[in-house]
Amino acid sequence: MNISGVWYNELNSTMTIEQNGNVLTGTYQTGVGTAQGRYPLQGMINSSGDASQTTAWSVAWVNPSGNSHSTTAWCGQLQTNGNHQPVLIAMWLLTSETSPSQDWASTQIGQDVFTRQRPTDDMVSKALARGHFSHPVQKA
């Protein structure tokens, strides 16, 4: 399956992907954290034609609005959920610049689940309240 188009995670981060062969390009707007606006995204997908397809992409959090001095890489796979809808399930690593003595605290890990449906405000509030979300800081 071609994954081009718009994807949303449980916190309303919005990812727009264009797939050309195995190559992904696009933009990412996070629903949490302080990074404002859209950021370029680049990645790859193993478009095998199988039911599950593995993929990885990354975002450097720098755009004309600002620089968070951090970079995220996601690695996961495309699957189909119980409602026969496509889902992108991915683990992420977010590294923020640190001095060498703070390297131990430089990288966070989490999971994002992306679907084609934008979550409602209520769903986002519940995801934040549950605490099973991706990032400790909610966008102001």
Where do contacts with ligand BTN occur on this chain (CB under 6 A)? 9, 13, 30, 32-35, 61, 68, 70, 72, 92, 94, 96, 110, 112, 134-135
C-alpha 140: how far from chain center: 19
Strands 53-63 vs 86-96: parallel, antiparallel or unpaired: unpaired
CA atoms within 13 A on the CB side of 46: 11
- Contact 55/73 with Cβ under 8 angstroms? no
The C-alpha atoms of residue 102 and residue 125 are separated, in whole angstroms, by 32
Judged by beta carbon, residue 45 or residue 133, the one nearer ligand BTN is 133
CB of 91 to ligand BTN, least distance (A): 10
Supply the minimum distance, in Å, between the C-beta of residue 1 and ligand BTN: 22
In angstroms, what is the minimal distance from the CB of 60 to ligand BTN?
10
112 vs 119 by CB, closer to ligand BTN: 112
